Structure 1
Amino acid sequence: MASYGPVQPDHVSLMSRFRVMQFNMQFGQIWDEAEGDHAPIDLDLTIAEIQSHDADIIILQEVEHAQPGGVQLQPPPNYTRLKAAFRGYDSYFSYPKADPRELPFGIGLAIFSRTPLRDTFRMELPSSPVEFEFDGKKRTPTDRLLIGAKTTLDGQEVQLFNTHLLAYFMLNSSSEQHLQQRQLVVEQLRKSTGPTLIGGDFNVSNRDSLVHQFADAGYQPVQTTEVTWRYRPFVLDHIFHSPHLQSVRYTVKPTKASDHHILLAEFEFAH
């Protein structure tokens, strides 16, 4: 278990309208329908794709490729390359709790910001012990993660969150039956009293239940209709915001750099 950052940006800018990117980058593995999970990794493509959108806040999941036996490479190689490429950004990264049950997919969360980050934190999100089969063996899922940090935009403090929840629907179950991770996230959202954003891969196939749950805590999604994942017609990726912020526009952009699409949104402070 390790966390890194923050790393100070080269410059600080204030903005009344700002752009947020939500992206499950799948550790740089490109989208190739024929190759599937065996598609090659091209982190240069990932970096170029992210840079092309000129976002002020970048929220990333699956930054690193999980290693056999739950080994967590130090320093995190992909995050290290991203930091070097994204000059002018402050950043914070964390692995989840190290676990030998980890499967060879994406792992680790990062937040990049053009304004300095502070008060960074991480919180483990326990997974229910739902049994499933992988590679001919019975398994149970590893825990997930929520990270956060604060920054100042246009003179106002903004709380940022990033999460990647367990895909219970891939285990022939549902997060409606196993609500603990979602509830832990909502508890943190309720504690935040000022402008707040959360981006993430929520891995909820029934988006309506997630939207209603977050609405009860005072948070609205940027969009709920455009699919964000290539394998199934699900809206897995979201940016939710508190009433202190209003979404000006958004776009969902397919990319060859991941099996997830990019969600971009511009925000202003509500008057």
Structure 2
Amino acid sequence: MSARFKILQFNMQFGQMWSDADPDRAPIRLSLTIEEILSHEADLVLLQEVERAEPGGTQPPVPPNYTRLKSALAGYDSYFSFPREDPRELPFGIGLAIFSRTPLRDPFRLDLPSPPVEFDFFGERKTPTDRLLIGATTTIGGRDLRVLNTHLLALFMLQSSSEQHNQQRQLVAAQLRSAAGPTVLGGDFNVSRHESLVRQFGEAGFKTVQDREVTWRRRPYVLDHLFYNAPLRPVSHAVKPTIASDHHALVAEFEFAE
């Protein structure tokens, strides 16, 4: 493999496709998710909301969607993790995965505690569960690359300020500041006013490949990003609309800058 590589960033919404008429009741078509992922022929694939949370927050020992993805993405190495198990979990997407054409090593996970803000969920008062950051290292064209993947709490959906409750972003920024070499961070950052996120991570030495094109169908927000540091140079990028999720796919090509 050359030192140039392609990354796919995709919140797959546990395989639930998009429906303009009724997005919350759209069918789950994991085959469509797999087709979308394979179509990009990416060297690295960063996925959020791989699984759907089960009642009571229980987590199956063999995650079904991840298992099917591993089978479909033959030739890729991978790493998956659920967030910390929590009975408060609501029936939305959870779980992060990294797929890589080159072997992954030194995987890690970091729990990102959620603030105790209350919100209404069908007439019941709830508090959010914790989120997650995962990572691993791979080698491409003889160069080591650290790969990070995260999915932050959507505070804007809870009528809460991501500036006031900034702890999750601070924990992620600390990981960026500790980066000793080429590093890329992908994810669904769930920040509606993304300028503050871009500025915060910029202070840690990271840029996003794009912050203009909307990446979410439900509201005109740029929620999905691929951040990179100075040892990397973006070659191209694109936001690819898809009906395989309520998020669009974000793809970018990089090369080593030094």
Relative to the length of structure 1, the TM-score reads: 0.94
Cα deviations across residues 192-214 of structure 1 (Å, max 9, x unaligned)?
A: 11000000000001111000000
Q: What's the counterpart of residue 20 of structure 1? A: 7
- Partners in 1 of 2:57 and 2:191 — Cα distance? 25
Aligned residue type for 2:14: F
Aligned residue type for 1:176: E
Aligned residue type for 2:46: I
Instruction: Pick from 209, 214, 217 the counterpart of residue 227 of structure 1.
Output: 214
Cα deviations across residues 74-123 of structure 1 (Å, max 9, x unaligned)?
A: 20000000000001100000000011110101000000000000000000
Matches within 5 A, 1:10-49: 14-49=1-36
Q: What's the counterpart of residue 6 of structure 1? A: none
- Partners in 1 of 2:200 and 2:136 — Cα distance? 23
Aligned residue type for 1:116: P
Aligned residue type for 2:29: D
- Residue 37 of structure 1: how far off its partner (Å): 1.2
Aligned residue type for 1:130: V
Gaps of 5+ in 1: 1-13
- Residue 15 of structure 1: how far off its partner (Å): 2.0
Gaps of 5+ in 2: none
Q: What's the counterpart of residue 97 of structure 1? A: 84
Q: Match of 1:16, SS?
A: coil
- Residue 125 of structure 1: how far off its partner (Å): 0.2
- Partners in 2 of 1:103 and 1:135 — Cα distance? 11
- Cα RMSD of the aligned pairs, angstroms, is 0.6
- Residue 38 of structure 1: how far off its partner (Å): 1.0
Q: Structure 1: which 4+ aligned runs deviate by more than 4 Å?
A: none
Q: What's the counterpart of residue 169 of structure 1? A: 156
- Residue 35 of structure 1: how far off its partner (Å): 1.8
Instruction: Pick from 30, 44, 49 the counterpart of residue 62 of structure 1.
Output: 49
Contact 2:3 2:143 in 1 (8 A): no
Matches within 5 A, 1:134-153: 134-153=121-140
Matches within 5 A, 1:115-126: 115-126=102-113
- Partners in 2 of 1:58 and 1:160 — Cα distance? 10
Contact 2:10 2:46 in 1 (8 A): yes
- Partners in 2 of 1:135 and 1:144 — Cα distance? 22
1:108 aligns with 2:95: yes
- Partners in 1 of 2:92 and 2:20 — Cα distance? 17
Relative to the length of structure 2, the TM-score reads: 0.99
